[in-house]
Structure 1
Amino acid sequence: MTQNPTTPFEAHYQSFGDAAAPEEGTRHLALLRAELARRQLDGFLVPRADAHQNEYVPPCDERLAWLTGFTGSAGLAIVLTDEAALLVDGRYTLQAATQVDTASFTVVPSFEVTAEQWIEAHLPAGARFAYDPWLTTIDGVEKLRRAVSAVGGTLVAVDSNPLDAVWIERPAAPTGRISVRDPELAGESVPDKLARIRTALAADKLDALVLSDPHQVAWTFNIRGADVAFTPLPLSWAIIPAEGRASLLIDGRKLEPMVRRELAFHAEILEPVYFDDALALFAGSGATIRLDQATCPAHVAARIEASGGKVSKGASPVALMQAAKNAAEIAGMQAAHRRDGAALTRFLAWFAREAPAGNLTEIDAVCALETFRRETNLMRDVSFPTIAGAGPNGAIVHYRVTGATNRPINPGELFLIDSGAQYEDGTTDVTRTMAVGAPTAEMRDRYTRVLKGHLAIARAVFPRGTAGAQLDPFARQYLWAAGLDFEHGTGHGVGAYLSVHEGPARISKLGAVPLVPGMVLSNEPGYYKTGGFGIRIENLQIVEEREIAGAEKPTLAFGTLTLAPYERALIEPALLSPEERAQIDAYHARVLAEIGPLVDEATRAWLESTTAPL
């Protein structure tokens, strides 16, 4: 491996996230305001969203970036006649301030002021405020209605998006090819999944279910697509009745003849243009139809009710089914993580050799890691944009390196890299923090406290019915003892060759869903010193049943999927208990046993050294 590998990803990261000049956002804002005036509207909501509320959206749905210049993954703009605001969460306040024209857009931290509060404070009395019902959820509309009504305004659902009318160069909708999942990887047939869904509908006395989340459509029909970056999604909809034939609404250009024939065994295939007609058909008999209120567009609910149907707002039963991986999916995830662990270990050994010379940049490291993964010949994509932060950039929780922000990795600093890959048999997500040269005592202390919390989650044993919020303090206790904390959740769900961020379970202060066997979650506590350094340690783990002699309740625990060594130079043994030392040594012995045979001789020699008993 050369010091600065050249890869197909390099050009991507040289430009990734580079926004248009701020004055372009100002020009686009003027165009939108003119269109709003033409439609006699006084305000409009522009979320960073598509009709499915996906985390990653196709270019044709990047309306917020087009309007404002802001390229973060979450945010929304509120445009009024005389002022406009861009609301972003704590991850993006610094980025937003550099990407938008702050003379035209006021950057508002959403953790301080919600969109509804801003509307109440700024919307003129009696104003007509509009939203796109395809881009706004059922819950979102209710919140908007309360805010607009509070100032005597009128909330208007537009028939067509006014921003689209002035975005002349808007890209076309994606038509990524759809593939049918290998039955050996899916582990359950489509008829069996549909039968389980129908049993759940009958139990809740529902007549039908609308799947508005393409992840759930992909899982149900054992398909994958290529419509968005980082996640193998087929943008699509489905209607599953308690009795009768399901309908799958998907752009036919995505379907090869053999794929179409396969899917036709399980559902009627319709073009998305017929979605409204299909909804009306199912709802026309007064049917009660379940919609996911957190992700389903308000348009769908309005169409059902206008056609005489009843909307049941609640969680889709598919979410929990999908989250609990079956034996085949678990085996696939294990295979993907061994393969990925070998690639990551090769990177870590390379980094340990090259970084101390001070000649690497963040982009160099990103490209090197993606090269090692690409050399498996099985990687389909990265599972999210790699987070690679040197020194103070590591303290920005969701920092994304670009050509403009690319920073040298200097001796005496910490380097944090959070990355993952999509393989057909599984999805990975792993974070390691490395010392470049000799770390300070503070770095070692903070890293070891984070590691202790990470180990506490990994060895947790808990009764069935335990939710993520109950486990979250395990990861924070050693930081809390020093008056420290981190501001993100400890863990999120992960899909099987699907989204790297999958619900409904999570390990966080808000994690209310009980964990069940087969769920895959991340374990990623951290610590971030603003202007100094960032630390995060992340493994993926799977919920498993645990037999305990004399146990009075069914008991669960975690099995670790990720296989890569921790940063030995940052571990302060004096802070570890004998149990924690043994836990680290056992994990490192497993990494050496499973990864050692998969790497080259030089990497294995490095691995043997770094995984030696503490």
Structure 2
Amino acid sequence: MFQTFQETASPEQGPARLQSLRAAMKAQGLDGFLVPRADAHQGEYVAPHDERLSWLTGFTGSAGWCVALQDRAGVFVDSRYRVQVKAQVADCYEPVDWPEVSLGDWIASALQSGRVGFDPWLLSLSQRRTLEKALAKNAPEIALQACANLVDEVWSNQPPAPAGAVFAQPVDLAGEPHESKIARLAKDIGPAHCAVLTLPDSIAWLLNIRGSDIPRNPVPHGFALLHNDARVTLYMDAGKLEGLSDHFGPSVQVKAPDAFLSDLADLSGPAMIDPASCPVAVVEALPHDPIEAPDPCALPKARKNAAELAGARAAHLRDAAAMVRFLAWLDQTAPGELTEIDVVTRLEEERRATNALRDISFETISGSGPNGAIVHYRVTDKTNRKLRENELLLVDSGGQYVDGTTDITRTVAIGTAGGTERAAFTRVLKGMIAISRLRFPKGMAGRDIDPFARAALWEAGMDYGHGTGHGVGSYLSVHEGPARIASSGTVPLEAGMILSNEPGFYKEGAFGIRIENLIAVEAASALPGQTVSEMLSFETLTWVPIDLTLVDPDLMTPQERDWLNDYHAQVLKMVAPLLDEATQDWLLNACRAI
């Protein structure tokens, strides 16, 4: 199994660990210390070595902070984790609604004066500026102070830094040689002598390599400089790169990681940095004022080329067959004695049976009943519960295949669902269909289309607290920037981008609903009389039936019912040939017209 079910955090040890951290703070003359979720590479996902926030507080979410003061400690979480955090942290930590309450404002109100320490590798330039601005306005007597990481000082059994092997991504799957990418992007860094790359997936994409330093994400840890003369200096442990010299060729020079800061200090001209992801430690090493711009790999990586899109379609069709086999088994077996862990195990077995699965793309969410309302619920031996009659089961999962990354959510009824659940499910489905059917002018961003996914819920006074969609990589991170479908999504959508489409609804203590397909942005065909010069639409990539027992057709428009019937007809056409006869029979019924 890729997934395990052990508890990965120890909230009962939170008070003692916080006490140890406070002792280290006192020894350094600090009144506070910042503990972010981030690592030195400033990506969303971190290795066990860097799970400092989880180790200290017990909170295991993928985003958040702890601000530890001598008399208070806040754990800052966004709306996805406000149910989860209550069960994961001890009473010595106070959950804080973030970003509604900013770190700077909370620190200013709680401390008034003093020194707050931070690890300069774990704080980006933008984050430091935001903090300094808030403190200067509300508590000018508070100073931020860079220092060694105090959590590392008190974490006695900290796992070692990852050192996974790196391998080449074939050019027929990448769609472009890395030499071509380097030359193309080098032209766009303007007057900068080089661009500093810290994000693991940016480096992996640029150099057509993959790795295993971060669980579920096939990326290696390292830093890189993209020079304006179409060279790359890669700072990575040579032991991870055995056999790759021919792949890299003369355009890539490999150096030891400890040469990174000294090389930065020796730069003869300005470097380009992305203030949103560049650590303070990097900025302070530069001898010249940097040129600030977005990571030069971010947009090109998000715009999938023809080979990457073809790989995504193949991966999703393969994954769809595995999902259908799983759903057929679940329908014929549940509830019985099945548990949430049984669900996770069976689904991974079906994906493994494809003989193409490299890893799961994230820890499978298998939440039954009230656990489904925990947006990023991870089942453990401690939280595992049996599936019960007349409850909902939310399963959010995905696979990492060498040709693509998948992410799909299906909510199914175990037995017969109630009217409240069916109505909520149908409104969520209407939102998913609205995005799937949407045509929109080129230049629109995720924030412009996000309301379409929520309108049916808003009509009933309902909503969900997460974004509607995130970018997805090509055998890379399942969460990929810079585009997203959300109120915060300001990057215009472009052809080739792969995004999730996943509206939801969650009733704490009762049930959760989410329906998710992956979609790819494409040029929309022109309409008679069209006056907008260029329009975009979405290609559906995910082909798995939606539980019709949860659909109330009376809440749907004729156009929405037509879309659902057409979708299921396409599922049947594409996926049935990949299945055995018994599963084909199940799929035929699951895809019946309404």
Q: Secondary structure at the match of 1:365?
A: helix
Per-residue deviation at 1:501? 0.7
2:327 corresponds, among 331, 339, 348, to: 348
Tell me how far apart the structure 1 counterparts of residues 576 and 441 of structure 2 sit (CA, whole Å): 35
Tell me how far apart the structure 1 counterparts of residues 159 and 504 of structure 2 sit (CA, whole Å): 38
2:238 corresponds, among 252, 267, 273, to: 252
Q: Secondary structure at the match of 1:317?
A: coil
Shift of the 66–555 alpha-carbon distance from structure 1 to 2, 3 Å rule, reads: same
Query: Conserved in 2, the CA contact under 8 Å of 1:123 and 1:151?
Result: no
Partner of 1:228: 214
Query: Conserved in 2, the CA contact under 8 Å of 1:56 and 1:230?
Result: no
Query: Conserved in 2, the CA contact under 8 Å of 1:412 and 1:438?
Result: yes
Query: Conserved in 1, the CA contact under 8 Å of 2:167 and 2:210?
Result: yes
1:200 corresponds, among 183, 188, 204, to: 188
Tell me how far apart the structure 1 counterparts of residues 131 and 556 of structure 2 sit (CA, whole Å): 50
Partner of 1:4: none
Q: Does residue 136 in structure 1 map to residue 116 in structure 2? A: no
Per-residue deviation at 1:107? 2.7
Deviates more, 1:434-443 or 1:28-37: 28-37
Shift of the 129–21 alpha-carbon distance from structure 1 to 2, 3 Å rule, reads: closer
Query: Conserved in 2, the CA contact under 8 Å of 1:89 and 1:111?
Result: yes
Partner of 2:15: 26
Give the aligned residue type for 1:396: I
Tell me how far apart the structure 1 counterparts of residues 309 and 487 of structure 2 sit (CA, whole Å): 27
Partner of 1:330: 309
Partner of 1:486: 464
Q: Does residue 605 in structure 1 map to residue 547 in structure 2? A: no
Per-residue deviation at 1:85? 2.2
Per-residue deviation at 1:31? 2.2
2:497 corresponds, among 495, 506, 519, to: 519
Partner of 1:266: 251
Shift of the 402–272 alpha-carbon distance from structure 1 to 2, 3 Å rule, reads: same
Tell me how far apart the structure 2 counterparts of residues 435 and 152 of structure 1 sit (CA, whole Å): 56
Give the aligned residue type for 2:520: I
User: 1:362-511 counterparts in 2 under 5 A?
Assistant: 362-511=340-489
Q: Does residue 315 in structure 1 map to residue 294 in structure 2? A: yes
Partner of 1:559: 539
Per-residue deviation at 1:58? 0.9
Shift of the 346–188 alpha-carbon distance from structure 1 to 2, 3 Å rule, reads: same
Per-residue deviation at 1:136? 0.3
Tell me how far apart the structure 2 counterparts of residues 70 and 253 of structure 1 sit (CA, whole Å): 33
Q: Secondary structure at the match of 1:415?
A: strand
Shift of the 455–244 alpha-carbon distance from structure 1 to 2, 3 Å rule, reads: closer
Q: Does residue 280 in structure 1 map to residue 265 in structure 2? A: yes
Shift of the 55–194 alpha-carbon distance from structure 1 to 2, 3 Å rule, reads: same
Q: Does residue 213 in structure 1 map to residue 199 in structure 2? A: yes
Shift of the 493–140 alpha-carbon distance from structure 1 to 2, 3 Å rule, reads: same
Tell me how far apart the structure 1 counterparts of residues 50 and 461 of structure 2 sit (CA, whole Å): 42
Per-residue deviation at 1:230? 1.0
Tell me how far apart the structure 2 counterparts of residues 359 and 9 of structure 1 sit (CA, whole Å): 23
Per-residue deviation at 1:111? 4.3
Q: Secondary structure at the match of 1:579?
A: helix
Q: How many residues align?
A: 590
Query: Conserved in 2, the CA contact under 8 Å of 1:148 and 1:155?
Result: no
Tell me how far apart the structure 2 counterparts of residues 297 and 539 of structure 1 sit (CA, whole Å): 34
Shift of the 560–90 alpha-carbon distance from structure 1 to 2, 3 Å rule, reads: same
Partner of 1:63: 52
* TM-score (norm. length: structure 1): 0.93
1:90 corresponds, among 55, 68, 79, to: 79
Partner of 1:50: 39
Per-residue deviation at 1:44? 1.1
Give the aligned residue type for 2:121: W
Query: Conserved in 2, the CA contact under 8 Å of 1:263 and 1:269?
Result: no
2:66 corresponds, among 63, 73, 77, to: 77
Where does structure 2 lack aligned partners over 5 or more consecutive residues?
Answer: none
Query: Conserved in 2, the CA contact under 8 Å of 1:190 and 1:266?
Result: no
Partner of 1:571: 551
Per-residue deviation at 1:16? 4.2
Shift of the 377–252 alpha-carbon distance from structure 1 to 2, 3 Å rule, reads: same
Q: Secondary structure at the match of 1:544?
A: strand
Q: Secondary structure at the match of 2:474?
A: coil
Tell me how far apart the structure 2 counterparts of residues 97 and 476 of structure 1 sit (CA, whole Å): 27
Query: Conserved in 1, the CA contact under 8 Å of 2:84 and 2:377?
Result: no
Q: Does residue 587 in structure 1 map to residue 584 in structure 2? A: no
Per-residue deviation at 1:578? 2.1
Per-residue deviation at 1:346? 0.4
| CA shift digits 1:58-108 (9 cap, x unpaired) | 111111222223222222211223332222223333433333331x32332
Give the aligned residue type for 1:228: I
Partner of 2:109: 121
Deviates more, 1:331-340 or 1:24-33: 24-33
Query: Conserved in 1, the CA contact under 8 Å of 2:454 and 2:463?
Result: yes
Query: Conserved in 2, the CA contact under 8 Å of 1:526 and 1:537?
Result: yes
Query: Conserved in 2, the CA contact under 8 Å of 1:212 and 1:292?
Result: no
Per-residue deviation at 1:370? 0.9
Tell me how far apart the structure 2 counterparts of residues 21 and 600 of structure 1 sit (CA, whole Å): 46
Deviates more, 1:342-351 or 1:569-578: 569-578
Per-residue deviation at 1:148? 4.2
Q: Secondary structure at the match of 2:394?
A: strand
Give the aligned residue type for 1:417: V
Partner of 1:5: none
| CA shift digits 1:477-503 (9 cap, x unpaired) | 111222222221111110000111111
Q: Secondary structure at the match of 1:156?
A: strand
Q: Secondary structure at the match of 1:564?
A: coil
Give the aligned residue type for 2:330: F
Deviates more, 1:166-175 or 1:338-347: 166-175
Partner of 1:538: 516
Shift of the 97–438 alpha-carbon distance from structure 1 to 2, 3 Å rule, reads: closer
Per-residue deviation at 1:200? 1.3
Tell me how far apart the structure 1 counterparts of residues 231 and 458 of structure 2 sit (CA, whole Å): 54
Query: Conserved in 1, the CA contact under 8 Å of 2:108 and 2:142?
Result: no
Deviates more, 1:382-391 or 1:104-113: 104-113
| CA shift digits 1:355-396 (9 cap, x unpaired) | 1x4321111111111110011111111111111111121122
Tell me how far apart the structure 2 counterparts of residues 128 and 369 of structure 1 sit (CA, whole Å): 50
Tell me how far apart the structure 2 counterparts of residues 470 and 81 of structure 1 sit (CA, whole Å): 44
Deviates more, 1:138-147 or 1:531-540: 138-147
Give the aligned residue type for 1:168: S
Give the aligned residue type for 2:202: Q
Tell me how far apart the structure 2 counterparts of residues 262 and 324 of structure 1 sit (CA, whole Å): 24
What is the identity percentage for the equivalent residue pairs of Structure 1 and Structure 2?
47
Partner of 2:281: 299
Tell me how far apart the structure 2 counterparts of residues 245 and 199 of structure 1 sit (CA, whole Å): 11
Q: Secondary structure at the match of 2:577?
A: helix
1:161 corresponds, among 129, 136, 149, to: 149
Q: Does residue 242 in structure 1 map to residue 228 in structure 2? A: yes
Q: Secondary structure at the match of 1:310?
A: coil
Tell me how far apart the structure 2 counterparts of residues 106 and 529 of structure 1 sit (CA, whole Å): 23
Tell me how far apart the structure 1 counterparts of residues 431 and 257 of structure 2 sit (CA, whole Å): 47
Per-residue deviation at 1:9? 4.8
Query: Conserved in 1, the CA contact under 8 Å of 2:81 and 2:375?
Result: no
Q: Does residue 186 in structure 1 map to residue 171 in structure 2? A: no
Tell me how far apart the structure 1 counterparts of residues 522 and 455 of structure 2 sit (CA, whole Å): 24
Give the aligned residue type for 2:108: E
RMSD: 1.6
Query: Conserved in 1, the CA contact under 8 Å of 2:74 and 2:96?
Result: yes
Give the aligned residue type for 2:259: Y
Tell me how far apart the structure 2 counterparts of residues 198 and 428 of structure 1 sit (CA, whole Å): 31
Tell me how far apart the structure 2 counterparts of residues 244 and 422 of structure 1 sit (CA, whole Å): 31
Tell me how far apart the structure 1 counterparts of residues 112 and 538 of structure 2 sit (CA, whole Å): 53
| CA shift digits 1:1-60 (9 cap, x unpaired) | xxxxxxx357x12x144x2252x2222222222222222222211111101122221111
Where does structure 1 lack aligned partners over 5 or more consecutive residues?
Answer: 1-7
